Amino acid sequence: LSPGMESLPEAVLIRILAAIPAVELVLVCRLVCCQWKNLVDGAALWILKCQQEGLTGAESEEDAENWQNFYFLSKKKKNLIKNPCGEEDLEHWGEVENGGDGWKIEELPGDFGKEFPSEEVHKYFVTSYEWCRKAQVIDLRAEGYWEELMDTTQPKIVVRDWYAGRRDAGCLYELCVKLLSENEDVLAEYKSETVTIPEDNDGSWTEISHTFSKYGPGVRFVRFEHGGQDTLFWKGWYGARVTSSSVTVEP
């Protein structure tokens, strides 16, 4: 420890520490001395880091540990589903079931379709005349969500998907998401009803979402599966359209 550092007022030391990347604070700075450990484990440092980086929403949290987790979860927040909009064909999607003529990727808005609510989405996956399904398994540890965080804090796991039909065809859509343990036991599950889109629909996109919370310790994987088909059994691709799927871990 450099001479004079220990004599700094705590508020000044907190400001200095707040300039250090969070991972180094936890892995390196905590080990320097008792005072630094207490500051890194306290709320004031993380409240300052949240303020400096514009992360808001934890103001109601009184628990110091929650501030640190809030900071990490806010910084890490991203869509854990890879290739959610078909930009890479069927890359990253496993357990693919190609009923009828199988999955196809089309450009928005597509025949008898509507533009997507976000301009950033350009493509979608479309199903055929028998059930088409596809799945993705997310390894939470590989994505940086450590075991103690998942077991103790149990951050919210938010799942979203978007589906639509064609204006000239009816179709069905389903979503099933499971939280799995190390051994892939199902610890929590969300299954939508089978959504029926009638033949005379307007082709608009609908969002479906579910939030897992207080799901208990042991969650290591998220298994996301969705699918659909048309109700007319027409050759080709008249079934449910899906895009912009997402799984996020949130504070």
Q: For residues 158 and 60, which has the higher predicted lDDT (pLDDT)?
A: 158
Domain 94-249 has CATH 3.30.360.10: no
| Res 226 pLDDT > 60 | yes
One fold for 5-71 and 94-249 = no
**pLDDT recorded at residue 23:** 82
| Res 1 pLDDT > 60 | no
| Measured distance CA(30)–CA(36) in Å, rounded | 6
**pLDDT recorded at residue 8:** 81
| Res 61 pLDDT > 60 | no
191-220 average pLDDT score? 96
**pLDDT recorded at residue 146:** 86
Q: pLDDT band for position 65 (50/70/90)?
A: low
Fold of 5-71: Monooxygenase (1.20.1280)
Q: Give me the residue spans of the domains in the chain.
A: 5-71, 94-249
Global confidence as pTM: 0.84
**pLDDT recorded at residue 56:** 72
